[in-house]
A and B are shown apart, each in its own frame.
Chain A
Amino acid sequence: MKLSTRFIHRYAWMLISTGMFALFFISASSHAQVRHTQEQVDLSQMNIGQIHLNMRPVDAEVLFRKDQHDTSSFAVSVKDDDGQLLKGRVKVSGSFTRRFPKKSILIKLDSEQQWRGQRKISLDAMATDGSMQREWLVWQLAHALGMPGPRLQYIRVYINDDYKGLFMHTEWLDPQVMARYGLGSDGQFFHPSDSQFCGDFLPHKKNTLADCWFKLSPRDQDFSPLQTLVDQLAQTPVAKFNEYLEAHFDVDSVINWLALNVLVSNGDTYNKNYFLYQSAVTEKWVVIPWDYDLSFGRNWDAYLPFPKDVLNDNFQYFYPPELGAPNPLKEKTLRNPVLKKRFTERLLHLLGEKKNGLETTFGWFSPENMRARINNTSIKFQSDRLDDPYLKDSQINFMQETESLWHYVQRRYAYLRIIFKGAVPWDPELAIWDPADAPPRPPLSVNVSASLEMPSNNQYALIAAPAYGYLLAAIKLKDDYGLAEFSVESKIKHTPTVLPPGYDASSCIQRNWFLTLRTPFKSRLIDLQLDYLQEDSRRQELGRGRIEQNLDLWALDGEHWQKLDVRINPLSNVISIDNVIIRPSQMLRFVACSADK
């Protein structure tokens, strides 16, 4: 896994400068009252499977401990559902993920032997996804939308009866899977090379298709279907692109692919990480999404060396729909008015804003439904994870990872509502389709403020400020006294000058929050989330050498400092404080400082 989008970080400022993200306040939940039925969200059908492998003990030890670059295979037997042993070879799979102690593995059974109808068994360790849910969530949505793709199942892996942890069994994607969707098994199947970053249909790469793509089926070197596709995509004008797409593509597969990527902010694609199948039955191309571990807020960092460029705790939710490598299929689809409307309607349907499709997918990505889905999924495999020999010492991290998914959805939902339903909607004609063309970002140094009038509905409302672009805080009103108005001010990228006793300014987050209750007469009880920024190693407010986990949050009520009980989520950069009582007209000043100076 390596990001192709070297400059995705440049996007955020464009929103600010164009005023598209003129966000005054957002209620994350007030417009998303679509609650799915219990069966749809509680995942009661989510069965965790089991697979038992037998290996020579020394091979089993070596498989998980050997040099990460070794590609050797070892003899293995797989016990099938009838108790019979299927013989084959097992090896570590993946590229980037090989460096983790918990390895993904691939089993290839000897000829004539099959497990669940396939000779290849792919068991994904989900090592780069601490929440272990990204792929699962994306594929649940993809399948709900009717997209062709592999079946996934959480599965307990045992080797010689030793529990090796929870893995994701991802069905091996081959023409037989496509045939299951009525697309036949005799189509042309392509996959962009993961290491070349050029599966993007750009015309100047037309003569290097064999370097940029793997042809999976039929096993020949005929890349002429792709060559034709590259020509067609280059030659078809934007105005006619809807007609072209209808004639040559399964349009829904393209619209859904783009919608998925936009919902979860997947920038690690459009030049890799997807499959393309030209069905001989429909004679149309179908897009199959792939690899969503760098999504839901995880962000590539251009300024950090490998592997920290990928393995970091950066967080973003504010990149626009054009995010990702340049690709004419993406660009022309989103620039064509007919297709853009269809794409927007699909997004708003999934966000629960405007029904335009199946009941089962309406509001699928709304914060309420996603919160239930994320929580229920994690509860489902919590005990398996506790016993996981590779993960049992990382429970705190797991809880933060899971919470960061929810924080991401909250914020992404708010962002997308604004850019698709706000006063200045997202305009693809203003978008920069090649990240390399994005101009440098302006510095972060502003005083911002925003006010919000909110009801007592026990749901979080998010507060941002015009011409800033990122969130400042989220408030949940927990009492029953009705409407309340709050104002939040922040000094962004600003080292606090007023400090709690015993702290040094250099040990504090470079942000001040000021919260004021504008509504008179009654004190109010709230839960509060305070956001700070860590988009990448340069655009962040951590200051030098802060250990976020050790941050203390202090509140000054005008006279006294008080240290608050907080939860820090260093992944989503959110400080959560429960049960804060705020008096009318009182202004609370918050600073977050680390005790480890």
Chain B
Amino acid sequence: MRKLMKQRRFKQGLLSLILLTGVAIAQAASPWMRSEGDRYYWAGTSYSTGNQFWDGGNDLQDADCRNNDWKTFHKFEYGYSYYSTLVAGLSAGSVRCGDDDELTGVGDLTLGIRGRLDIYSNGKSWEITAIIPTGYDRNNPSRLGNGRFGIEGGVAWSSRERGRSMLSPWSWEGSTSIRLWQGPPADQFLSSFSVRRRITAVSGISVRISGDISLRNESPEKVKFENRTRLTDFDKIRAAISWSSRINTRWSYQTSIGHVLWGRNATNNLTVGLNISYDWRQ
């Protein structure tokens, strides 16, 4: 009996772990192309909490309950050829406000292709991604994704070329994209910029500013919690500081802490995160 309970707990734990791998699609586009045949796996998990939110008039309000959100995201990249990298991602997570109303599940699946802006170098790319909702109820006002098909197109670039020793310890990375949805509540403009200072040969610290801006071109949808980020009808500017390091030639990790600076229809959360990645380079 005890053994059965243990097995059940293990299965529940495993399921939770799987679900805890993602929510927000908000993964900034990467400027990095994979070599033909190379594969890359990235998994991140984050915890966000806060008891305030930015209302529709950009005013900060106290919430009735404290947010406690776990989110995770899995990403897999494959170098199809020198000119194109295939990208797939899956988000999942758990959101909760106060003691009740917990929601756990899988978010959206993303499938995309990345190409080179400069065919001779790495670190400058374009990317087009299809956003596909998974089986969650698109009519649930508290769902884990927008519930509609979307398509995102953008560019990303970096001041460094991967693996190349740089004279300056400083480098920067930026990305910008448009996310179009098949229906309401709104299309989005996303952008991010980060500055990195190399500390050792394999590690560095970076500061990142990111912004998600709603184009407000559709009709808003009803949401369950007033104090939560409203599907795609929100604006949010966020700052984060992170430490990244290569463990060996294949494994890397990144830890980060960030906070929302300004918003509209968005939670005012503190977020901590941990990412790991594995690189199957030839």
Could you list which residues of chain A lie within 8 angstroms of chain B, going by C-beta atoms? 58-59, 61-62, 65-74, 306
Contact = CB atoms under 8 A, between A and B. Distances in A.
Contacts of B37: 71-72
Contacts of B161: 67, 69
A91 to B, nearest CB: 8
B82 A66 contact: yes
A71 B164 contact: no
Contacts of A68: 163-164
Contacts of A66: 82, 119-122
Contacts of A71: 35-38, 281-282
B79 interface: yes
Contacts of B81: 72
Contacts, number: 48
- For the complex, would chain B's binding face be called helix, strand, loop or mixed by DSSP majority? loop
Contacts of B222: none
B119 A67 contact: no
B122 A70 contact: yes
B162 interface: yes
A65 B120 contact: yes
A444 to B, nearest CB: 31
Contacts of B36: 71-73
A154 to B, nearest CB: 29
Given A65-B120, A70-B122, A72-B37, 5 more contacts: A61-B120, A62-B119, A66-B82, A69-B163, A71-B281
Nearest to B121: A67
Contact of A69 (B82, B120, B164): B164
A306 B165 contact: yes
B162 A69 contact: yes
A170 B54 CA distance: 67
Nearest to A68: B164
Interface string B103-136: 0000000000000000111100000000000000
Interface string B20-45: 00000000000001011110000000
B154 to A, nearest CB: 21
A59 B81 CA distance: 11
A64 to B, nearest CB: 9
A74 B82 contact: yes
B79 A67 contact: no
A72 B164 contact: no
A62 B121 CA distance: 9
Contact of B162 (A59, A62, A67, A73): A67
Contacts of A58: 119
B165 A70 contact: no
A67 B121 CA distance: 5
Nearest to B282: A71
Contacts of B119: 58, 61-62, 66
Nearest to B120: A65
Interface in B133-164: 161-164
Contacts of A67: 120-122, 161-164
Nearest to A74: B82
A337 B36 CA distance: 53
A225 to B, nearest CB: 27
B164 A70 contact: no
A577 B15 CA distance: 81
Nearest to A67: B122
B165 A72 contact: no
B136 to A, nearest CB: 38
